A and B are shown apart, each in its own frame.
Chain A
């Protein structure tokens, strides 16, 4: 079985709010002293693939990223986690590509890299959190798609996919090829690579492509554009429930509770 896992490199989502800045003019987050990391749901996807390979055997895992040259780090880490092959499509454009742009590039790269039975993405990324890449990629590839998957089994050439829903879970049967988006679960926490494998990963080959290599023109964003980006003024001051009596104070507190829960 041939598995392809898409990985996105993003700004560390754990950067403290007080260190987080945006460039309002360019409508992008500033990196500051924060690191770039692999999106966690993408790592969950890779981990799910690795476990599938361990159980099913005979599978190969290719990791693919569309991003800046630094995205190579994410791919190297995936190789250290024991992905079999890696490819990077270099994003040479200005600004952030929209989800459809990304899906088109990934789809073209996937067609170039070979035939895959299973194409995996994270459910969404920790930066823009659009949650669209998987679905749009399925459409671009003309494949069916199952979202929020947290477990995959192979059964006689068919896949059994477990996915999380609002109220519980659903079990799918799918005939490959299929696209799945992966969500986190206690079973797909990404493994820590062995140090030896980390060192080896830098000696492994890595395919580098550009959108032009794939016959795609840099069109700019025709799907959506970020019109505004701002940091909301966070109310850090605690509004202490006031009042002369306990009853009044609790009343004020209760009003706050109602206000918050109403808006959900």
Chain B
């Protein structure tokens, strides 16, 4: 006999199932529609280009769940439930194909291997997954989770649905004495246990009742699903498909100053449809907030709460939330309920800044724009750009932002650098060195972009000096802009003054193009990011290198021949704008390896999951409360490695971490050095006293021969 089973065994009036299907589909469909109808009120965003890459991303992160799996326990639990669900859905589809479309697929080996065995196994896995989830949620109680009744009810629902499935299966196997029952091991378990206590009639009766109960609860769950966080079953893959394919460093949007009715965002209508989809894609996993440096040190900022509280706002009455006209002229949205109104105020969308605790101005001004939240999000929500969007509104429309940031912005406007009160000049660092500038820039093969931090902060002048001396030693014909250099615009942009950023960007690009600059090396990851990801939109096509990349290449090419002899224990701190936001992890580590003779150690958080120094997003200009300093938290991690040197690759990290290490000096002593300084220490000619001020290439070669 060919293995199969009778569909709808013991079930009469199957039409009732089809009758129930309609309201279920309508309720669920309306749930999906009401979300979708809100997304389309957002402004345009081009997120459907490059379909192959997008499909690949969906496969990797929706199907293979690579980011979800970064947390082992949660990843496993999620895998059990989600893959179980996929298998069960396929199985139900198979039944439908057989019963409703006359495709006789429920038979033979396929029936035994997949429809019986695999499905049975995955059904059990779902239950295990739910138990793991419940244990985590209610016994371990991680702080990052939001504890809602909805979450509990979802777990109960899923557990009961699977349990009912096994009961129905078991009782059918027992009552029909299904000879293939052993292929459904867990169903069979139910069958055997039941046979001992229940009569065939009793099982038949229980089966019929449970079958219908299972059907009703399943349909109820399906109808309810789009209204819960479980909507992520649909929204997450969609959101991953529509993800920003550019590096995290290119996450910010442009503002069209000619067209925009509002600079920055203070209403949900000001966001793009993708931003709104983000809100509905959130699974409430809390990973963004768990990795947020501001949150970690006890500040109010919580990217998760921004997303969730905005999501709740979004699901208020559309006409109140989005207003009757699109605030940003983004597509002429018609009123949802079609009621005409004469009340002008009612036309305006609901302001979101300050509307909920998470979007109060104070937490918005705590973000370092490190993008750890975005890197952590399993469904590719873009939290940080939303924060910057709201900052833009506060800065450009309200002129309400922290005083010390105002000072930095004013200094940027007036002097092209953010360090108000500095007495340093752009060329102080080059004293005694013979550095090309001015008209010689055209002749140079590469431009060393010093940056405000590298030029105007005393400590970083040494880094710039070391970099220049290394380039000189390698025979690189480089030049600097000197007094013509201005801030790249990064702090202005991250603080939210997009207008000022654009001015600086246009001015710098024009100036660089005038000098025919093609290749740029910089020791500042913020400048690096701006050059790489933001200047192309302003006509600046430069090949840009972080100094660690360029120096590592010079070593590789044999143009720098460092004598690796220090052997001190070094740990490297990844700058957010170099590592996570631009994917440069290995070049600085290569330099650290050379300088430490392989004696490098990693901090507990590194590479893409590195922890911010606290200085990005204009935060280095803000005086943080002494007990809420991000830099001290990171310094603590660095000290824990037992390293003698904390290597950095960013002028802001230098300032922040040196401060942080100093504040914890009692614990242990640790030097903070830039990777270029480390390399220069092992590369500079030894016989010249005083740091090799005047460099002569031949001297090194002689020295190398001698050594």
Contacts and interface: CB of A to CB of B under 8 A. Distances in A.
Interface of A: 12, 14, 16-19, 32-35, 37, 189, 191-196, 198-199
Given A194-B396, A194-B397, A18 B499 contact: no
A16 B409 contact: no
A194 B399 contact: yes
Interface string B384-422: 000000000001111101010010011100110000111
B496 to A, nearest CB: 10
B414 A37 contact: yes
Interface of B: 257, 263, 395-399, 401, 403, 406, 409-411, 414-415, 420-425, 428, 483-484, 497, 499
B294 to A, nearest CB: 24
Given A18-B428, A192-B409, A195-B499, A35 B415 contact: yes
A88 B147 CA distance: 63
Nearest to B264: A195
A195 B397 contact: yes
A14 B399 contact: no
A34 B396 CA distance: 25
B393 to A, nearest CB: 10
Question: What's the dominant secondary structure at chain A's contact region?
Answer: loop
Contacts of B424: 16
Q: Select the residue from A17, A18, A193 with max chain B CB neighbours within 10 A.
A: A18
Contacts, number: 49
Contacts of B396: 194-196
Contacts of A198: 499
Contacts of A18: 423, 425, 428
A199 B415 contact: no
Nearest to B484: A33
A16 B414 contact: no
A195 B497 contact: yes
26 contacts: A12-B414, A14-B415, A16-B422, A16-B423, A18-B425, A18-B428, A19-B483, A32-B483, A33-B484, A34-B415, A35-B414, A35-B415, A37-B414, A189-B403, A192-B399, A192-B406, A192-B409, A194-B399, A195-B263, A195-B395, A195-B396, A195-B397, A195-B497, A196-B263, A196-B396, A199-B499
A189 B406 CA distance: 11
Nearest to A81: B399
B410 A192 contact: yes
Given A17-B423, A19-B425, A196 B397 contact: yes
Given A18-B428, A33-B484, A193-B399, 5 more contacts: A14-B420, A16-B422, A189-B403, A192-B401, A195-B397
Q: Select the residue from B403, B411, B414 with max chain A CB neighbours within 10 A.
A: B414
Question: Which 3 pairs across A and B sit closest by C-beta, in order of nearness?
Answer: A195-B396, A195-B499, A33-B483
A19 B422 CA distance: 12
A235 B500 CA distance: 38
Nearest to B395: A195
A77 B649 CA distance: 38
A199 B483 contact: no
A14 B412 CA distance: 12
A232 B242 CA distance: 64
B628 to A, nearest CB: 25
Nearest to B398: A194
B457 to A, nearest CB: 13
Nearest to B263: A195
Contacts of B403: 189
B435 to A, nearest CB: 16
Contacts of B414: 12, 14, 35, 37
B399 A191 contact: yes
Contacts of A16: 422-425
A33 B484 CA distance: 8
A64 B396 CA distance: 26
